[in-house]
């Protein structure tokens, strides 16, 4: 280095010297360390996110322990350990002791951590508030013992300063434990480690979490799925999302011999034909050397890449939670709330925003112990990470609030804002690049494409809710009718028969006139074998030929036994069916599906369908979906129906005496 | 329809005679037959009943009272409430027939408790059981006494120079003068005030003053108002019971005594007057036996509150709603009542009859009543 440094160089050096500490101090808020409550949450969140990402990469089922203990008046010790693959000893200092160091920033795939600020910021915060080093213990499967490293972050140089190194035996194949002492405060509430872990457990049903709170309370979220989620694959960046700098570095780093080859292999969505068009548009040659493109040529190339029609980015790099696991996750965590209804979760197909694929998923739960008179609970997730702050500034919240939920059966003042009702809404946005509003990754920024998908997904979930609520209303009305026909009518007949001294008449015609539905009542018995029973009763005034179908997950179909023997089965689709010949008015048929003890199946996993009666006259089962490719004995059904008596014409409207009376008679007594 | 009452009421009740009147209960079997036949024919059982609502009462010129109109409602087993009321009807019919067999009677309140054993058909409130008894009166064209159901003695009392003969529970006929033969509490009305029980012997009174509150009755009695003015004091006890109204009607019809009604000055008191003079909605099917069309409202009127500068209270929201409901009540659709109700709404004030004590204990008997009765031409 020359002896005489320029002023600019001196300044540059100075800037670097103060940069990290100053950066942190000035950005405490956006990094999530602006107060003791939030500092704790951010620390736990960063450590757990890292643990989950590490486990996922290694394809192991995560087991994550979070222990928070009190140390002195305003200090907490936070320890997070996982059963992940561990970190190589030489990498430990950089991972924990250096800001902006990470493996995922450049990877074009969906992951929890993205910027590499997270855990080292927590180390920095801990160092600044307690002057204590972080303790990292990590073991990789190849080594006998775990490495223990204590280190601080050197704020002057943004470099790790190792204080102590050691080896320690650890009775597990691999894993990482990180322990920090920081100025922080523990409190349960909306923005607490408790809430964060609850949310994380919902969207990561394959993980087991144990949280130990400072007072010793231990909360465990058991694993609800043994399936390791598919690791999102890394794909080359799509040109639509590329900016000049990245294109330049990609070109320089390319090992391809020609530009044409580079475009087709190092970037996504560029076919041979598209490559030709791009090169033509940019005035470049197929055989040009990638590393030689710069300056104006580079700009022309990017311009051409953005104009030429390309294959949209692949969504392989996304890892949706999927309908099955969303439901399982919600059920696992909300079990004690006993909701009445889990809407079939919505998982939208991937779309592209800029050059980045994204997709939206929505889960909806209704009823049970959820509070009736409060705004719905909205759980927001980005790449499987719960978003706990900035709810008001988030595109997800906005999409929920701008929808008119009154149309779907929830209360909502003026048709906008958070609806009110016993409802919990889970919204997950997965993308290789989530447009966050800030570095603290607490809210998703507005985007027209994203908003459209959010709205479609929410509407789809809301439609399920509306269907459920209208079914429930029908069910309630039916309950009233059942009370009439089962309890009141027989007694009325008995009383009047007795008074006139005649035998009790057959009540079937009256019962069927009052009900006028075919009812399917399902019950489950769990003693020994698990038996799901469906009783089909024809409460309509005519005899009917009905076809009953049961559908169940194909995995459990093999274990099922049926009584009576079904008239047909389709094991691949998990279906069995029966023809109920001429079910007379008030006639009943019992169908049973039994599973051996220990089969993982629930009454709600079985769906019952009935053909031979329209939806308005069917209760407790679905009508046959239109897309089922099944040959029905239609002729038989129709013939049976035509032979039946015509429906009685509806009676003329009458004043209900008991309803008219209700509002009167406040006046006199005697 | 209840007109037939004239024939049944002439009979003495079987309580005394110990005989069962088969025809009193015959209509209850007709009801059962009707429902049975509907069930037998596969029809959803139902009954049609005249609506006892304020929209369905009509003024009957001949009797000068408000009677039930022609609008019918349906009580059908298609609805849970209707089905329950139908079932209750026959539990009730059963019970009534049982009582007839065992020669028992029951109070309305006992009836309510009897339904404890009716399972689903159990009444949820005494209102429900009272309503059903009235429904049965309408359906069977009988009075509840025919069904051996009666209200509890409510002790509405009479003070004044009126001599009656009452056949008491031991069957002994006693002659009673309601001024000289009774204590300070006056003569207490039994629930049955029909001729078989009570007959009028003689009276020296020139009019009847029906009074809402017991305190005011006592004031008038203590001040000797009845003797000085040849009046019969009758305590209404708030909303008057059927027997009280029936007794008033008989005094008016048989002894040709004018009736004036003296109540608090508030919307609820207007309704007391309406049930005395016009007939109550709930009992519109028997108005001709209970209403005294010539009865006049003495006060306290809305203008009395102003003219006599009476201590008053502000009308509550409930009071205002009651007044507004009265404006749409056909019984109050006269110019006098309209202006009275509108004046009370405008002033926003109500007053109790005892507020007259502002001017001393004798003011009501020495000034207020003589002035008012003079205006009305009674004194």
Query: To the nearest whole angstrom, how far is the Cα of B29 from the nearest Cα of chain A?
Result: 7
| A113, pLDDT greater than 70 | no
- pLDDT for A661 equals 54
**Cα atoms found within 13 Å of the Cα of residue B55, Cβ hemisphere only:** 9
| A651, pLDDT greater than 80 | no
| Catalytically annotated residue among B36, B91, B112, B113 | B113
- pLDDT for A502 equals 95
d(CA A460, CA A346): 7
- pLDDT for B12 equals 36
**Cα atoms found within 13 Å of the Cα of residue B262, Cβ hemisphere only:** 27
Phi, psi of A468 (to 5 degrees): -60, -45
- pLDDT for B163 equals 96
Between residues A436 and A314, the one the model is more confident about? A436
Between residues A102 and A496, the one the model is more confident about? A496
- Which range scores top for mean pLDDT: A297-306, A384-393, A495-504, A542-551? A495-504
d(CA A364, CA A340): 11
- Please list every residue in chain A whose beta carbon sits closer than 8 Å to the beta carbon of residue B88: none
- pLDDT for B42 equals 92
pLDDT tens digits for A457-506?
Answer: 999 999 989 988 888 888 888 888 888 998 999 999 999 999 999 999 99
Chain B nearest-CA residue for A663: B53
| A116, pLDDT greater than 80 | no
- pLDDT for A18 equals 52
- Binning pLDDT at 50, 70 and 90, where does residue A178 land? very high
Question: Average pLDDT of A403-408?
Answer: 92
| A100, pLDDT greater than 70 | no
Question: Average pLDDT of B337-347?
Answer: 95
Domains of chain A, first to last: 21-221 (3.30.565.10), 239-307 (1.10.8.50), 323-469 (3.30.230.10), 508-643 (2.60.40.1170)
- Binning pLDDT at 50, 70 and 90, where does residue B275 land? very high
| A6, pLDDT greater than 50 | yes
Here the tokens at position A190 are 């909306």
Chain B nearest-CA residue for A505: B40
| A218, pLDDT greater than 80 | yes
d(CA B103, CA B188): 26
Mean of pLDDT over chain A? 83
- pLDDT for A295 equals 84
CA distances from residue B247 to A189, B60, B199, B255, B276 in whole angstroms, order as listed: 71, 21, 10, 11, 11
| A361, pLDDT greater than 90 | yes
Rounded percentage of chain A residues whose pLDDT exceeds 70: 86
Domains of chain B, first to last: 2-150 (1.10.10.10), 202-376 (3.40.1360.10)
Residue A252: count other Cβ atoms within 10 Å of its Cβ: 12
Widest CA span in chain B: 73
pLDDT tens digits for B21-54?
Answer: 457 788 999 999 999 999 999 999 999 999 888 8
d(CA A105, CA A114): 5
The SS3 of residue A98 is coil
d(CA B54, CA A534): 50
Chain B nearest-CA residue for A479: B80
**DSSP character at residue A484:** I
| A665, pLDDT greater than 80 | no
- Least confident range from B63-72, B82-91, B370-379: namely B63-72
Contact A510 B45 (CB under 8 A): yes
Question: Of B54, B85, B130, which has the smallest distance from its Cβ to A664's Cβ?
Answer: B54
Strands in A622-623's sheet, in edge-to-edge order, are A568-570, A575-583, A544-551, A607-611, A622-623
- pLDDT for A21 equals 62
d(CA A459, CA A407): 10
Question: Average pLDDT of A371-392?
Answer: 88
| A633, pLDDT greater than 70 | no
Write the DSSP assignment of A554-614 as a string of letters.
HHHHTT-EEES--SEEETTTTEEEEEEEEE-TT-EEEEEEEE-TT----GGG-EEEEESS-
- Which range scores top for mean pLDDT: A180-189, A493-502, A628-637? A493-502
SS (H, E, C) A362-395: EEEEECCCCCCCCECEEEEEECCEEECCCHHHCH
Mutate which of A585, A657, A664 to disrupt the B interface (most B C-beta within 10 Å)? A657
CA distances from residue A375 to A50, A194, A379, B306 in whole angstroms, order as listed: 33, 20, 12, 53
Active site residue B36: no
| A24, pLDDT greater than 80 | no
- Which range scores top for mean pLDDT: A117-131, A366-380, B209-223? B209-223
- pLDDT for A384 equals 85
- Least confident range from A204-213, A553-562, B56-65: namely B56-65
Mutate which of B37, B48, B52, B80 to disrupt the A interface (most A C-beta within 10 Å)? B80
Using alpha carbons, select from A33, A16, A15 the residue that is nearest to residue A24: A33
- pLDDT for A25 equals 67
Phi, psi of A217 (to 5 degrees): -60, 135
pLDDT tens digits for A239-297?
Answer: 887 888 888 888 888 888 888 888 888 888 888 888 888 888 888 888 888 888 888 88
d(CA B25, CA A176): 90
- Least confident range from A95-109, A220-234, B8-22: namely B8-22
Q: Interface pTM (ipTM) of the complex? A: 0.79
pLDDT tens digits for B172-189?
Answer: 999 999 999 999 889 999
Using alpha carbons, select from A268, A271, A296 the residue that is nearest to residue A282: A296
- Please list every residue in chain A whose beta carbon sits closer than 8 Å to the beta carbon of residue B121: 488, 491
Question: Average pLDDT of A450-459?
Answer: 93
- pLDDT for A670 equals 42
- Tokens 């080896």 correspond to what residue? A167
Query: To the nearest whole angstrom, how far is the Cα of A642 from the nearest Cα of chain B?
Result: 21
- Please list every residue in chain A whose beta carbon sits closer than 8 Å to the beta carbon of residue B44: 510, 513-514
Question: Average pLDDT of A2-25?
Answer: 61
């Amino acid at each position: 280095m020359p002896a005489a440094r320029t002023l600019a160089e001196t300044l540059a050096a100075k800037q670097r010297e103060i940069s990290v500490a100053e950066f942190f101090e000035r950005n405490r808020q956006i990094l999530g360390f602006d107060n003791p409550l939030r500092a704790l949450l951010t620390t736990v969140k960063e450590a757990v996110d890292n643990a989950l990402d590490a486990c996922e990469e290694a394809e192991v089922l995560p087991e994550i322990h979070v222990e928070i203990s009190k140390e002195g008046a305003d200090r907490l010790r936070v320890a997070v350990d996982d059963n992940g693959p561990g970190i190589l000893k030489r990498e430990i200092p950089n991972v924990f002791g250096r800001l902006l160091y990470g493996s995922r920033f450049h990877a074009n795939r969906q992951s929890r951590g993205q910027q590499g600020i997270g855990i080292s910021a927590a180390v920095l915060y801990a160092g600044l508030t307690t002057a204590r080093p972080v303790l990292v213990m990590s073991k990789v499967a190849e080594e006998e013992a775990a490495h223990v490293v204590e280190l601080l972050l050197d704020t002057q140089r943004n470099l790790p300063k190792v204080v102590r190194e050691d080896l320690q035996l650890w009775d597990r194949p691999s894993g990482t434990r990180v322990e920090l002492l920081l100025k922080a405060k523990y409190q349960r509430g909306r923005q607490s480690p408790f809430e964060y872990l609850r949310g994380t457990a919902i969207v990561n049903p394959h993980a087991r979490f144990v949280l130990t709170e400072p007072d010793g309370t231990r909360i465990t979220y058991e694993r609800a799925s043994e399936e390791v989620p598919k690791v999102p694959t890394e794909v080359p960046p799509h040109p639509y999302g590329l900016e000049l700098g990245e294109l330049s570095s990609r070109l320089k780093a390319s090992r391809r011999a020609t530009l044409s080859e580079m475009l087709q292999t190092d970037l996504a969505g560029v076919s041979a034909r598209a490559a030709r068009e791009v090169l033509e548009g940019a005035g470049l040659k197929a055989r040009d050397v990638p590393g030689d493109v710069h300056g104006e040529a580079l700009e022309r190339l990017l311009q051409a890449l953005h104009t030429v029609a390309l294959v949209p980015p692949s969504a392989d790099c996304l890892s949706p939670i999927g309908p099955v696991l969303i439901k399982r996750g919600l059920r696992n965590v909300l079990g004690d709330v006993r909701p009445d209804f889990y809407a079939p979760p919505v998982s939208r197909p991937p779309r592209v925003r800029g050059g980045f694929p994204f997709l939206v998923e929505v889960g909806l739960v209704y009823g049970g112990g959820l509070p009736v008179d409060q705004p719905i609970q909205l759980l927001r997730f980005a790449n499987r990470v719960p978003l706990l702050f900035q709810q008001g500034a988030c595109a997800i919240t906005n999409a929920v609030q701008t929808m008119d939920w009154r149309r779907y059966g929830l209360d909502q003042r003026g048709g906008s804002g958070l609806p009110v009702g016993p409802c919990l809404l889970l919204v997950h946005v997965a993308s290789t690049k989530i447009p966050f509003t800030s570095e603290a990754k607490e809210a998703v920024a507005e985007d027209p494409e994203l908003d459209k998908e959010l709205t479609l997904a929410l509407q789809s979930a809301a439609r399920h809710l509306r269907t459920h609520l209208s079914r429930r209303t029908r069910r309630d009305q039916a309950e009233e009718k059942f009370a009439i026909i089962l309890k009141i009518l027989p007694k009325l007949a008995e009383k009047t028969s007795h008074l006139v001294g005649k035998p009790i008449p057959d009540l079937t015609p009256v019962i069927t006139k009052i009900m006028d539905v075919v009812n399917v009542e399902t019950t489950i018995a769990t003693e020994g074998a698990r038996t799901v029973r469906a009783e089909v009763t024809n409460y309509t005034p005519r005899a009917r030929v009905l076809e009953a179908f049961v559908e169940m997950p194909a995995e459990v179909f093999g274990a099922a036994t049926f009584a009576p023997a079904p008239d047909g089965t389709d094991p691949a689709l998990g279906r069995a069916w029966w023809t109920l010949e001429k079910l007379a008015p008030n006639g009943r048929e019992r169908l049973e599906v039994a599973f051996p003890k220990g089969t993982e199946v629930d009454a709600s996993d079985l769906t019952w369908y009935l053909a031979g009666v329209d939806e308005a006259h069917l209760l407790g089962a679905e009508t046959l979906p239109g897309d089922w490719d099944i040959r029905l004995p239609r002729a038989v059904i129709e013939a049976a129906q035509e032979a039946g008596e015509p429906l009685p014409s509806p009676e003329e409207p009458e004043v209900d005496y008991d309803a008219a009376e209700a509002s009167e008679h406040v006046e006199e007594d005697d | 329809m209840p007109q037939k009452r004239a024939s049944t009421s002439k009979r003495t009740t079987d309580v005394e005679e110990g005989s069962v009147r088969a025809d009193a209960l015959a209509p209850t079997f007709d009801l059962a037959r009707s429902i049975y036949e509907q069930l037998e024919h596969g029809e959803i059982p139902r009954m049609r009943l005249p609506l006892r609502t304020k929209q369905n009462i009509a003024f009957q010129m001949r009797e000068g009272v408000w009677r039930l109109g022609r609008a019918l409602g349906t009580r059908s087993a298609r609805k849970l409430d209707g089905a329950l009321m139908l079932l209750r009807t026959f539990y009730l019919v059963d019970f009534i027939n049982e009582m007839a067999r065992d020669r028992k009677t029951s109070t309305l309140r006992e009836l309510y408790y009897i339904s404890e054993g009716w399972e689903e058909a159990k009444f949820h409130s005494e209102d429900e059981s009272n309503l059903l008894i009235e429904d049965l009166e309408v359906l069977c064209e009988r009075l509840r006494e025919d069904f051996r159901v009666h209200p509890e003695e409510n002790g509405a009392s009479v003070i004044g120079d009126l001599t009656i003969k009452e056949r008491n529970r031991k069957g002994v006929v006693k002659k009673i003068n309601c001024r000289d033969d009774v204590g300070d509490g006056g003569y207490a009305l039994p629930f049955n005030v029909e001729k078989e029980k009570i007959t009028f012997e003689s009276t020296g009174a020139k009019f009847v003053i029906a009074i809402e509150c017991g305190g005011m009755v006592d004031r008038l009695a203590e001040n000797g108002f009845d003797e000085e003015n040849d009046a019969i004091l009758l305590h209404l006890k708030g909303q008057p019971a059927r027997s009280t109204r029936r007794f008033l009607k008989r005094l008016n019809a048989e002894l040709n005594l004018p009736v004036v009604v003296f109540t608090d000055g508030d919307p609820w008191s207007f309704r007391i007057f309406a049930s005395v003079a016009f007939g109550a909605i709930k009992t519109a099917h028997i108005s001709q036996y209970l209403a005294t069309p010539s009865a006049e409202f003495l006060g306290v009127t809305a203008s009395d509150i102003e003219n006599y500068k009476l201590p008053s209270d502000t009308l509550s929201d409930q009071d205002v709603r009651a007044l507004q409901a009265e404006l749409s009540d056909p019984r109050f659709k006269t110019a006098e009542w309209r202006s009275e109700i509108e004046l009370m709404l405008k002033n926003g004030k109500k007053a109790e009859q005892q507020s007259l004590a502002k001017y001393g204990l004798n003011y009501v008997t020495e000034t207020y009543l003589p002035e008012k009765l003079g205006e009305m031409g009674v004194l």
